[in-house]
Amino acid sequence: MTTRRTRPAPRPPEGTPPRTELARQARAVLADAVRIAHWAAGTPGPGTAAPLAAHALERAATALELSPAQVRAGWDRARLAGLIELHGDTARPGWRLRAWDRDDSAVLRGWVALFDAWSLVHAAPADIEAGAVAEAVEAVPQVLSLLQLSAGPVTVPALLDLLGQRVAELQEERCEVPLGPGRTAPATPADTPAGAAAENGAGPARSADLNALLLDWALEGLAAVGALTLGNGHATLTPLGNWAVWVKLEQICVAAQSPAGNIEQSAADMLLGCARLTPGPARDEYRAWLAARTVGSAVAELLAVARGEDALLRGLAFEALRVVGAPAEPEVRAVVTEPSLRPYALLWLAEYEGNDGRRPGRPQPRGVHLALGRHRGGRRRPRGDRAAGAPPRLRRPGHRPGPARRGQSRRPPAHRAGPGRPRRGPPGPGPGQGGPPGRLPGAHRRSLSRAPAGPGA
């Protein structure tokens, strides 16, 4: 096991507010979500099942004096921020909700979870195909990096140019068909983005219009979660968004400084590179590797590695999934039926649902706990040998009697002494019971001999 050389904690960029102020801003963004989460926590029953039923939507709107659209949006944000946790068809208050008023770190983590899910908060236009939306989501981190490094407003044309370049790179990478180790097939003109657009009768103008539409959608989604503000032809990161992007860039830089360069490796190579690290540095590597990828693709890649034959990589993959946390729960729950992944998935779910005692205030669902007990198969060994049916033993391994008892065990008891075997010491009560002292241990006799006599002795 090796540890990475520690370095001083990096300081946020100049002008970044303190964590208390950042947490206050995050609480303001999620104010409606917190109200709805508290209402759901105090209203147990079928009305708080997920998704929110129509009659529960009306009850929440009446109780909180919000419109149904606001209740639905706040409910979705509460789920994405971890304020409400879904267990099957039941929604329960999350640990972040219980710590919301006193723990700034829990608040910031909840907002970062919402920030990571911006594409779910603000749905993409229905007339855009899913492949183009996925490419835009994968290219948005480059746009955020430019906004953070600029430390000020950035014009929309500059962001559009960067988005188009990144989307073109992604399309070019997907056009390479692997033929073997170190060989790729050259892309045909029809496979390239320009060739495909030419075949479809659409020129570069259509591609630029599509990128502009996707950029507008992305900027509106990021503004909806409080990460940036939109001006007249420009966009600016909020202090909260600037801090979140800086944290992710720092995680990437930390991983890039590792000897193996794990951030650019596949999941299997990254896990092998972390095998010799202690748990703390290994978790830092996992976080940095995850920060450079979308949550869905990272979880799918880790589970693909876990399905392999290497037990070490399987265990490390689930360690990395523990860092992912709540977003990985549906995928982990789906692999419980696979025999090779079942024990790892059950342990992961038991820790997540609180059956390991790490979250004492959390409800204890019995499903995973019972399934884990059934998977173990064997019963616990009883503590006593008699309970297991074993014959009594005179001496057990590791048993060492004291000096006084060892001497007594070597000589026969007084009532068993024969006619030619004199008794050792007079019969009667033992020491401290009103009778004459019998055969006392040496240490006790010496302490009595050193005791001072009373006055006049």
> CA-to-CA distance for 46 and 56, rounded, in angstroms?
9
> Does residue 374 belong to any structural domain of this protein?
no
Shared domain check, 316 and 351: yes
How large is the average pLDDT for residues 76-99? 82
| pLDDT higher at 57 or 89 | 57
Judged by average pLDDT, the poorest of 34-48, 324-338, 383-397 is: 383-397
Is the Cα torsion angle 276, 279, 285, 289 positive or negative in sign? positive
* Residues 321 and 299: beta-carbon distance below 8 Å: yes
Shared domain check, 274 and 212: no
Helix, strand, or coil (residue 170): helix
Shared domain check, 306 and 245: no
Domain boundary residue among 226, 257, 288? Answer: 257
> How large is the angle between the packed helices 130-150 and 239-256, nearest 10 degrees?
100
What local confidence, expressed as pLDDT, does residue 402 receive? 52
Domain boundary residue among 323, 356, 389? Answer: 356
> Does residue 181 belong to any structural domain of this protein?
no
Shared domain check, 35 and 107: yes
List C-alpha distances in Å: 399 to 381, 384, 402, 404: 20, 15, 10, 15
> CA-to-CA distance for 321 and 339, rounded, in angstroms?
18
> Does residue 326 belong to any structural domain of this protein?
yes
Shared domain check, 291 and 237: no
Shared domain check, 225 and 277: no
Tens digit of pLDDT for each residue in 293-314?
A: 878 888 999 999 999 988 899 9
> Does residue 314 belong to any structural domain of this protein?
yes
* Residues 143 and 218: beta-carbon distance below 8 Å: yes
> Does residue 61 belong to any structural domain of this protein?
yes
Shared domain check, 269 and 233: no
Shared domain check, 331 and 274: yes
> Does residue 180 belong to any structural domain of this protein?
no
Domain boundary residue among 119, 144, 161? Answer: 119
Shared domain check, 230 and 137: yes
Task: Give the chain's domain count.
Answer: 3
How many CA atoms does the CB half-sphere of 223 hold within 13 Å? Answer: 12
Per-residue pLDDT band for 26 (boundaries 50, 70, 90) equals: very high
What local confidence, expressed as pLDDT, does residue 274 receive? 86
Task: Give the domain CATH number at 66.
Answer: 1.10.10
Residue 183: which H helix or E strand, with range? strand 183-185
How large is the average pLDDT for residues 348-362? 60
Our separate counts of H helices and E strands in the chain read: 21, 7
How large is the average pLDDT for residues 144-151? 87
Shared domain check, 249 and 152: yes
Shared domain check, 278 and 216: no
Structure tokens at 99: 């710590």
Mean pLDDT estimate for the chain? 72
- Which residues span the domain enclosing 325? 258-356
> Does residue 6 belong to any structural domain of this protein?
no
Tens digit of pLDDT for each residue in 197-248?
A: 444 434 444 477 888 888 889 999 999 999 898 888 889 999 998 998 888 8
Entry pTM: 0.58
Shared domain check, 115 and 127: no
Which H, E and C letters describe 64-122, residue by residue? HCCCHHHHHHHHHHHHHCCCEEEECCEEEECHHHHCCCCCHHHHHHHHHHHHHCHHHHC
> Does residue 438 belong to any structural domain of this protein?
no
